[in-house]
Amino acid sequence: MAAESLSGLQVKPGGVYVDATVGLGGHAELILEASGPDGRVTGLDRDPNSLEASRQRLARFGDRARFVAGNFNRFDERAGLGPASVDGILADLGVSSPQLDRAERGFSLLRSGPLDMRMDPTQGLTAKEMFQRASEEEIEGWLRAAGEARFARKLARRLREAAPGISTTEDLAGAVSRWVPRRGRTHPATRVFLAFRMAVNRELESLDEFLRRAPAVLKPGGRLAVISFHSGEDRKVKWFGREASAAGLLKIVVKKPLEPSDAERRENPRSRSAKLRVFEKI
């Protein structure tokens, strides 16, 4: 949703922007091109591989592009951003294609690899380590947070019982496939993988913190654009917008989230669940 994001941010010449989840640098590149020779972008990412890829991609922009390693939750502190200092902030909450495609990262249920799932593979517990230590109640909480309410309790119990024999993505996907019926074309383990990934990276907690900090950094009239990929994320962004609007902090720019066009869905099937919400600093 590159064009929609750029439009939502209202990128202007000489503007100062933050790409809080810079990934491979695609959005940041478009912002730098649209903001002219004086525009600047600070890109953050907790994945060192992604950050290096974006650094190489954006090298032609020189010091107009700045890179900061770390989670986006405290982006303002990490990037040294003061109050009312930026014209726009973008956060794309999705997993990048290289993360999904590299089996050793452990994100994909379609590739056999270690049960890792860390956005930053140099820090924190892997999915396997968290899973092996988690209680049945904790696993149930992960599943419910990812929208797997229907089978959460029973599935958590079976996962806890089977934990000693699960150490790879193939193990986890296979076990869940034996316990959960397939829903149409969706793999039965899709939400389980989402639940584990969210828990390992504390994604919803990070999103809460990011949203809490974002308004103060924006200049009056500055825009915040957030692309979410599942209902739990979108629900948080929607309610944040309502509360910030009621408090007189932000204006809701689009009443309903923007979604990918049919053409984009065909070209990039991974974008099919994306939703873009945009807010403006009052």
Could you state, in order of their start, the residue ranges of all structural domains in the chain?
2-97+203-281, 103-201
Average pLDDT value for residue range 91-106: 93
Q: What confidence category does residue 186 fall into, taking pLDDT thresholds of 50, 70 and 90?
A: confident
Interval 80-94: pLDDT, tens: 999 999 999 999 999
Whether pLDDT at 149 is above 80: no
Q: What confidence category does residue 166 fall into, taking pLDDT thresholds of 50, 70 and 90?
A: very high
The reported pLDDT for the residue numbered 56 is 98
141 Cβ contact list (under 8 Å, min separation 6): none
Please state, rounded to an integer, the average pLDDT across all residues of the chain: 95
CA pseudo-torsion sign 121, 127, 130, 133? negative
Q: What confidence category does residue 181 fall into, taking pLDDT thresholds of 50, 70 and 90?
A: confident
Domain 103-201 superfamily per CATH: Putative methyltransferase TM0872, insert domain (1.10.150.170)
Contact in structure between 142 and 198 (CB atoms under 8 Å): yes
- pLDDT exceeding 90 applies to what percent of the chain? 87
The reported pLDDT for the residue numbered 183 is 77
The reported pLDDT for the residue numbered 92 is 97
Average pLDDT value for residue range 174-192: 89
The reported pLDDT for the residue numbered 136 is 97
Q: What confidence category does residue 148 fall into, taking pLDDT thresholds of 50, 70 and 90?
A: confident
Q: What is this structure's pTM?
A: 0.94
Average pLDDT value for residue range 204-213: 98
Q: What confidence category does residue 269 fall into, taking pLDDT thresholds of 50, 70 and 90?
A: confident
Q: Give the distance from CA 188 to its chain's centroid.
A: 22
Domain 2-97+203-281 superfamily per CATH: Vaccinia Virus protein VP39 (3.40.50.150)
CA pseudo-torsion sign 125, 131, 133, 137? positive
The token pair that represents 261 in the structure block: 């066009």
